[in-house]
Structure 1
Amino acid sequence: MRAYLRRRGIRHVIPEKKDHKNARLRRGSRGGRPPGFDRERHKKRNTVERAINKLKGFRAVAGRYDKRDYVFLGTVTVASLVI
């Protein structure tokens, strides 16, 4: 997954897992370089993910029952106001 993101020029924001780090270090020079980690970008991503998960708590938003885009946008707007 990281290779795919790297090819597309997308920076990742998820920190490296401890077991992945240990395995990479065990492999020595064949383990590759450690991925960069930006704490501020990770905080912003976490904020966005929490907001989306709160929106998914509304059945109409999670199920996407509305046929028209503008009606769905209205549903999301109302759910956002309630939150």
Structure 2
Amino acid sequence: MIPEKRDQEAGRLRRGSRGGRPPGFDKERYKKRNTVERAINKLKQFRAVATCYDKRAYVFLGTVTSAALLIWLRS
């Protein structure tokens, strides 16, 4: 959820009922999304996780788990 520009919100209010969807932005939800995105980006630093060459789901899960463990141990 990206914050909306002030002029877009004002234009929507000016048009009234024809203005489309109501402006919505939840700061707490945005913070959580940012945390998840940063965690995924840290996992993607590991080549085995980023390329997904594993054929079996349980092998890939083990790869992701070991990458997460390394990230946790380094921090």
> Normalising to structure 2: TM-score of the pair?
0.74
Identity of aligned residues (%): 72
**CA apart distance, 1:73:** 0.5
Partner of 1:81: 69
Higher relative contact order, chain-length normalized (CA < 8 Å, sep 6+): 2
Distance 1:20 1:54 in 2: 34
RMSD: 1.9
Max radius of gyration: which structure?
A: 2
What is the number of equivalent residue pairs in this alignment? 69
Tell me by how many angstroms 1:36 deviates: 2.2
Aligned match of 2:28: 40
Q: Which of the numbers 63, 66, 78 marks the counterpart of 2:54?
A: 66
Could you tell me which runs of 5 or more consecutive residues in structure 2 were left unpaired when the two chains were aligned.
none
Mapping for residues 7-18 of structure 1, pairs under 5 Å: 14-18=1-5
TM-score (normalizing by structure 1):
0.68
> Where do 5+ consecutive residues of structure 1 fail to align?
1-13
